[in-house]
Amino acid sequence: MSTHKLTAALSIFAVNFGCLAAGPNLGKPIDAAEIAAWDISIPPDGTGLPPGSGTPAQGASIYAQKCAACHGENGKGAANAAVVGGAALTNGIDTVKTIANFWPYSTTLFDFIRRAMPYQQPRTLTNDEVYALTAYILALNKLIGENEAMNAQTLPKVKMPNRDGFIPRFPDKL
């Protein structure tokens, strides 16, 4: 290639690059409606909790059908973790962590059941069912009343016993 041609080629290259922002820009714009089905993380303030509602009684029958095989009758534990009870954390560093003795936020329960349970068919529960199961487990642990319904307003207000039990390990990294 002659010097002249090379210079010409380079300047076309430069012009093409000039039209674009700094990077390759190969991402496709996407809007919130398109992302909605994946946008499932629920932070402690409850932002993003879906419409719907469920009571402990409603949750009890769903639990018996879809959860008890692995987590035991009445949440007592079986092949997988108990979802009721828990020893004091001062019993040892290997104390089994439970919803009642450890989990700092009630929203995590909704978030985790919705995204990951039942283990073999995750994300098949309706939002009402997830609220009901969350209410059932919170009531089993006496963290809410037996007739209290869980929904986007009530769930984030449930204060978990171990809310203040944590120390950030490296505060400068936060």
Q: What residues line the site for ligand HEC (CB under 6 A)?
A: 66-67, 69-71, 80-81, 83, 98-99, 109, 112-113, 117-120, 133
Of 117 and 139, which CB lies nearer to ligand HEC in the complex structure? 117
133 binds, among another protein, ligand HEC, none (CB under 5 to 8 A by kind): ligand HEC
Question: For residue 26, which amino acid is it?
Answer: L
Q: What number of chain residues touch another protein (CB under 8 A)? A: 55
| Distance in angstroms (rounded) separating the CA atoms of residues 7 and 142 | 77
Give the residue from 100, 71, 111 showing the smallest Cα distance to 159: 100
Contacts of 115 (CB under 8 A, 6+ apart): 40, 122, 123
Report the 10 Å Cβ neighbour count for 56. Answer: 23
Contact 129, 53 (CB under 8 A): no
- Asked if residue 65 binds another protein (CB under 8 A), the reply is no
Give me the residues that bind another protein (CB under 8 A), please: 21-32, 35, 38-45, 70, 79-80, 88-95, 97, 102-105, 107-108, 111-112, 115-116, 119-120, 122-123, 165-170, 173-174
